[in-house]
Amino acid sequence: MASATPRPIVAGNWKMNGTSISLKEIRLLTGMLKGVRLKCDVMVCPPATLLSRVQGLTRSSRIRLGGQDCHDKVSGAHTGDVSADMLSDAGATAVIVGHSERRADHGETDAVVAAKAAAAHKSDLTAIVCIGETLAQRKAGETLRIIGAQLKKSLPASSTATNTVIAYEPVWAIGTGLTPTPAEIRAVHRHIRKGLLRIIGPKAGMRVPVLYGGSVKPGNAEELMAVEDVNGALVGGASLKAADFIGIIKAYT
């Protein structure tokens, strides 16, 4: 029988970073992971241009691959976009949708994010759905309301315990070196878990991993990953170097 506690995931989001030379970090990471007993899954989300090559290097390792975004259509006249099918074909088993940088840079609404997550599900990809409040919203005491609304509106009806991961990423913590306190993270994750029980159902909602993201580093990973209801991390900057990323993964050894 499947466990009610989600298996943690440590996922690295390379964002718009990485060319051929960065593949050495993947080689280093696969080497560092050999023989290590892990209590989490490890995922790397490189730019789409590197997916196939990273897939070649990680095929016989435990590293899973993810895309950073997908279009909500399978194919068509959408210059520059990548479909969930294309990501799957390149070796991805997951895709990040609704990252706050996509929401800010491309005006993606919760409805757009839900459509992208549904497209990911149709292509058998796990959708890593990102939600998070701005600093102004936190200061105004709006965090839980904003998070609850984003969660409800960003999850499509196709969401299940096996095809959905939530990443709670306070916008003000991304790339800033700032993090909420463990108590603040716990309060939001507990709220997200309650929302999942309502939206996905009491049993399935318990099994959806809820990651924390925002300035996770080797130095704070152990403390942040120990927070109740945190089931792993979505890591930006510190995932670019294997030596830093492994320092975060080690929170789960």
For residue 126, state whether it binds ligand PEP (rule: CB under 6 A): no
For residue 44, state whether it binds ligand PEP (rule: CB under 6 A): no
String of contacts with ligand PEP for each residue 132-171, x by CB under 6 A: -------------------------------------x--
Beta strands in the chain (DSSP E): 9-13, 41-45, 63-67, 94-97, 126-131, 164-168, 210-213, 232-235
For residue 215, state whether it binds ligand PEP (rule: CB under 6 A): yes
- Alpha helix locations (H) across 19-165? 23-33, 51-58, 84-89, 100-106, 110-122, 135-139, 143-154
From the list 237, 242, 249, 252, which residue makes contact with ligand PEP (rule: CB under 6 A)? 237
From the list 6, 46, 98, 236, which residue makes contact with ligand PEP (rule: CB under 6 A)? 236
Catalytic, 169? Answer yes
Nearest to 74 by CA among 89, 64, 93: 89
Alpha-carbon separation of residue 72 from 75, 84, 155, 163, 166 (angstroms): 9, 8, 13, 16, 18
From the list 33, 115, 174, 251, which residue makes contact with ligand PEP (rule: CB under 6 A)? 174
> Are the beta carbons of 46 and 247 closer than 8 angstroms?
no
Which residue, 110 or 169, is less far from ligand PEP as judged by CB? 169
Please state the closest distance from residue 61 (CB atom) to ligand PEP, in A: 22
For residue 216, state whether it binds ligand PEP (rule: CB under 6 A): yes
Catalytic, 133? Answer no
Enzyme catalytic residues: 99, 169
